[in-house]
Amino acid sequence: MPRYTVASARPDDLTHLPAIELAAARLLAGVAPDSVLNETTSLDVLQKAQREGHLWVALANDVPVGFAQVEAIERGGVHLEEIDVHPEYGRRGLGTQLVLHVCEWAVRKGYRRVTLTTFRDVSWNMPFYARLGFAVVPPAQLSQALRAVVADEARRGLDPSRRVVMARPSTRACLP
């Protein structure tokens, strides 16, 4: 049985992440446009996130099988820009571990909330995040930075009517 851990990404981990991202995207075939299903986070973005301490990996026996990346897009909050677990390692709690790790990190760093965007109508997306304490942010309450995220997704081909912005407050109560 593999031993699973979540850790800050190391430079050598970065080469594994595009394959994880593409494999996880296949789960959204028929929901997301091909342009999104076939794109990966650029190596430059991953390197920057790794240097800034904004990138974590789920490891199976020290080999990356999932990852989470955040961006500080607004004062007081970070945005969970990408989270993926390779489908071969799905349903083992690794996604939950990654999300909670990000939330705990946000508390320690003094961020007031963690935000993300996800599919409103995909059974394993919005309900998953709701179970982890995320709530829908009404469109009228979106910050300028979050409106920009939604607009960028629309430019990339994601239908904004199928997407939702969610947030989880960062409080000491989030820590174990």
What pLDDT shows up at residue 175? Answer: 52
pLDDT of residue 172: 56
CATH number at residue 60: 3.40.630.30
Residues 6+ away with beta carbon under 8 Å from 82: 21, 41, 67, 68, 69
Residue of 70, 97, 84, 83 lying closest to 6 (CA atoms): 97
The reported pTM is: 0.94
Give yes or no for a contact between 115 and 78, defined as CB atoms under 8 angstroms apart: yes
Domain count, the chain: 1
- Residues spanned by the domain of 162: 4-174
Residue 98: per-residue pLDDT: 98
4 contacts 59 by C-beta, under 8 angstroms:
yes
pLDDT by 10s per residue, the chain, length 176: 789 999 999 999 999 999 999 999 999 999 999 988 999 999 999 999 999 999 999 999 999 999 999 999 999 999 999 999 999 999 999 999 999 999 999 999 999 999 999 999 998 899 999 999 999 999 999 999 999 999 999 999 999 999 999 999 987 555 55
Q: What is the pLDDT of residue 56?
A: 98
Token pair in block for residue 68? 């989470």
Q: How high is the pLDDT of residue 171? A: 72
